[in-house]
Amino acid sequence: MQQAEAIVYYFIDPMIETDIERVQEIEQQSFSTHWSANTYRNELRNPSNNRYIVGKASPVPPPPREERNPDTSGRGFLSNVLSVLLGASSETPDIRYFIVGYGGLWTCVDEAHITTIAVDPIYRGRGIGELLLNGLIDQALSTNADLLTLEVRISNVVAQQLYLKYGFHPFGKRTRYYTDNGEDALIMSTDSIQSKSYQERLYELRGLLFERLRQEAADTPVKSATDIAAASYPRRY
């Protein structure tokens, strides 16, 4: 008998230490310079200044966020748009959920700085990077940050277009910032992410992202959780 196909769902969770090995695999496929496992551990052990998240794929939908991680920020209209796509943290990894991307930021006073966003090459072009960016914006809002900043390679036009879409604008350049090839970095920043106008625009963009990811779920069937694992962890199968 032919096995029934399952739909792929995408959502985000806080990064935990057991995620580091998989995060490093994605990092090695995405960047020419890499962090050590100890660096990630140190980052995760300082949540007052560092926030890291992972994007996951699963053949089953995660429980709604409000059932396991109620929103207490007073910004429910921001988080609930993606409530069916956002999971909650667990110290025991669920084998049904496979990491396909990650992101992180540093916080200092009223500013949050995005340090990294990366998606497994197999899963790029599906909106997962945008989902991760939204997760980092939520992390910044939860710390009461007013501005978000980042650096991006001058040549990375695709990433720049995503950041422009979410209200980042260029305001400077770091010459020869990237040590692998001496490429310049474009410095980008938002206006106040706490403003009513920014949050209204964010709400609108999340509605569009929600529909895109729902369509991805409908259009990307897999036979089983094992198929997702094989795609996400090619070196292990």
Q: What tokens appear for 24 in the block? A: 């490093």
Q: Is residue 36 part of a domain?
A: yes
Q: What residues contact residue 31 under an 8 Å CB cut-off, 6+ apart?
A: 118
Write the CATH number for 138: 3.40.630.30
Q: Is residue 15 part of a domain?
A: yes
| Confidence band, pLDDT 50/70/90 cuts, at residue 9 | confident
- Taking residues 9-37, report their average pLDDT: 93
Pick from 2-6, 111-115, 154-158: least confident: 2-6
Q: Kindly report the pTM of this predicted structure.
A: 0.81
Q: Is residue 180 part of a domain?
A: no
Provide the annotated active-site residues: 151, 163
- 121-142 pLDDT, tens digit each: 999 998 999 999 999 999 999 9
Strands (E) located in the chain: 6-7, 9-14, 50-58, 98-108, 111-119, 147-153, 169-174, 185-189, 221-222
Q: Is residue 74 part of a domain?
A: yes
Q: Is residue 181 part of a domain?
A: no
- 194-206 pLDDT, tens digit each: 999 999 999 999 9
Q: Is residue 83 part of a domain?
A: yes
Give the chain's domain count. 1
Q: Is residue 35 part of a domain?
A: yes
| The pLDDT value given to residue 197 | 96
Q: Is residue 62 part of a domain?
A: yes
Residue scoring higher pLDDT (150 or 85): 150
How far apart CA 10 and CA 35 sit, in angstroms, is 25
- 165-180 pLDDT, tens digit each: 999 999 999 999 998 8
DSSP 79-140: HGGGGGGB----SS--TT-EEEEEEEEEEETTEEEEEEEEE-GGGTTSSHHHHHHHHHHHHH
Domain that holds residue 230: 6-146+192-236
User: Shortest CA distance to 118 belongs to which of 35, 219, 225?
Assistant: 35
The HSE-up count of residue 117 (CA atoms within 13 Å, CB side) is: 25
